[in-house]
Structure 1
Amino acid sequence: MANKRMRKLIQNSQRRSTREDSSNRGVDHENESQDTTSHSPLELQNEEVNEQDENEIMPSSQAQKRKRGKTIMRDIHALHPDHMLVVKFNERGQPYGDLQPTLANYIGTIARNGVVLPLSFLDWRKMPTNCLNDAWKLVTARFCISNCHRRVIMQMMGAAWRRWRTEVKATSYDSNTPLEELVAIQPIPHGLTLQTWEILCNYWKSTEKTSKINRENANKKKGTHAQGHTNIPSLEYKFSQENGRKPSRIEIQQLSRRSRKKGGAPIDDEAIRIENLLKETVDRHLQDKPEGTQPIEVHEETFREVFGPEHSGRVRCLGAGALPSQVFPELCKRSSMYWQDYHSNSDMTDKFKEMGEKIKDMELREAQRQMEIEQMKRQMKENDQFQNFARVMLSMMSGSAGGSHGPESLPTQMAAMLTNIMQ
Structure 2
Amino acid sequence: MGKKRKLNIGHRRPENSNQHGQPNENDGIESSTRNAEETQSNPGHGEEVMHGSLESNSIPSDIETEEIQAEKESKRVRGPTRMLDVWDMQVGDFIIVNLDKYGRTVGEEATTLTRFIGSVVRRPHFAPINYISWKKMPKENIDDMLEAIESKFEFVPPINDTIREMLKAELNEKWRQWKSDIKSLAYNPSKTEEEIASKLPDDRVEPSQYRDLVHHWFSESGQKTSEINRRNRAKFEDVHCMGTKSLPRLIDEKKKLGKGVSPKRKEIYIQTRTRKDGTIVNEKAARVIEELRNMMRLKHLNQLKTHKGIHLGMKTYSLKCKDLIKGGVSAAWARFQNVKKQRHPHLKMKSYVIE
1:137 maps onto 2:147 in alignment: yes
Q: Quick check: which has more Rg, 1 or 2?
A: 1
In structure 1, the partner of 2:290 is 276
Q: How do residues 14-25 of structure 1 correspond to structure 2 at under 5 angstroms?
A: 20=43
Counterpart selection for 2:247 from 232, 257, 261: 232
For residues 168 and 156 of structure 1, the distance between their equivalents in structure 2, rounded to whole angstroms, comes to 18
What's the CA shift for 1:156? 1.1
Q: Deviations over 1:148-198 (max 9, x none)?
A: 3111111111111100000111111223422223345x3475454444223
> Is the alpha carbon distance of 1:221 and 1:126 closer, same or farther for their aligned partners in structure 2, counting shifts above 3 Å?
same
Bigger proportion of residues as helix: 1
Q: What stretches of structure 1 of length at least 5 have no aligned partner?
A: 37-48, 294-423
Match of 2:210 in 1: 197
Percent of counterpart pairs with the same letter? 23
Q: Which residue of 7, 14, 35 maps to 2:34?
A: 7
Matched residues in 1 for 2:51 and 2:103: separation?
A: 32
**CA contact 1:81–1:142 (8 Å) conserved in 2:** no
* Cα 1:267–1:78 shift into 2, 3 Å: farther
Q: Tell me the residue number matched to 1:256.
A: 272
Q: Aligned AA for 1:255?
A: Q
Q: CA deviation at 1:16?
A: 5.5
Within 2, Cα distance between the matches of 1:258 and 1:16? Answer: 24
| TM, length-normalised to structure 2 | 0.62
Give me the whole-angstrom Cα distance separating, in 2, the residues matched to 1:92 and 1:34: 30
Structure 1 residues 89, 266: closer, same or farther in 2, change over 3 A? farther
What per-residue deviation string (whole Å, max 9, x for no partner) do you get for residues 249-270 of structure 1?
Answer: 211112222334x3xx244343
* Per-residue deviation, residues 78-136 of structure 1 (Å, max 9, x unmatched): 21232211101112211011211111111110011111110111101221110000000
The code of the aligned residue for 1:254 comes to I
User: 1:110·1:116 contact (CA, 8 Å) conserved in 2?
Assistant: yes
Task: Give the 3 Å change call, closer, same or farther, for CA 199–84 of structure 1 in structure 2.
Answer: same
The answer (yes or no) to whether the contact 2:9–2:96 under 8 Å persists in 1 is: no
TM-score norm. by structure 1 comes to: 0.53
> Residue 88 of structure 1: SS of its match in structure 2?
strand
| Equivalent residue pairs, number | 261
Q: How does 1:208-357 map to 2 (within 5 A)?
A: 208-243=223-258, 244-260=260-276, 262=277, 265-270=278-283, 271-283=285-297, 291-292=305-306
Counterparts of 1:154 and 1:79 in 2: how far apart (Å)?
A: 23
Q: 1:193 to 1:235 in 2, by over 3 A?
A: closer
Instruction: Write out aligned runs for 1:11-410 (5 A).
Output: 12=38, 20=43, 33=50, 67-145=77-155, 146-148=159-161, 149-184=163-198, 186-187=199-200, 189-205=202-218, 206=220, 207-243=222-258, 244-260=260-276, 262=277, 265-270=278-283, 271-283=285-297, 291-292=305-306
Q: Write the distance in 2 (CA, Å) between the matches of 1:79 and 1:35.
A: 9
Does the aligned pair in 1 maintain the 2:121–2:127 contact within 8 Å? Answer: yes
The SS at the match of 2:129 is coil
Answer yes or no: is the 8 Å Cα contact 1:223–1:257 preserved in 2. no
Contact residue 51 and residue 86 of structure 2 kept, 8 A: no
| Structure 2: unaligned runs, 5 residues or longer | 1-7, 11-30, 54-62, 308-355
2:241, 2:273 within 8 Å by CA — same for their partners in 1? Answer: yes
CA distance in 2 between counterparts of 1:2 and 1:101 reads 15
> What is the root-mean-square deviation of aligned Cα atoms in Å?
3.9
Q: Which amino acid aligns with 1:8?
A: N
Name the amino acid aligned to 1:248.
K
The amino acid across from 1:226 in the alignment is: C
Deviations 1:278-329 (A, max 9, x none): 2224556778999549xxxxxxxxxxxxxxxxxxxxxxxxxxxxxxxxxxxx
8 Å CA contact 1:188–1:197 kept in 2: the answer is no
Change (3 A) 1:65 1:75: same
Residues 111 and 161, structure 1, Cα contact 8 Å, conserved in 2: yes
Structure 2 residue aligned with 1:361: none
Superposed CA offset, 1:341-380 (max 9, x none): xxxxxxxxxxxxxxxxxxxxxxxxxxxxxxxxxxxxxxxx
Distance 1:35 1:256, change over 3 A: closer
Counterparts of 1:6 and 1:190 in 2: how far apart (Å)? 34
Tell me the SS of whatever aligns to 1:69: strand
Secondary structure of the corresponding residue to residue 77 of structure 2 = coil
Q: CA shift at 1:5, angstroms?
A: 7.2
Q: 1:127 to 1:222 in 2, by over 3 A?
A: same
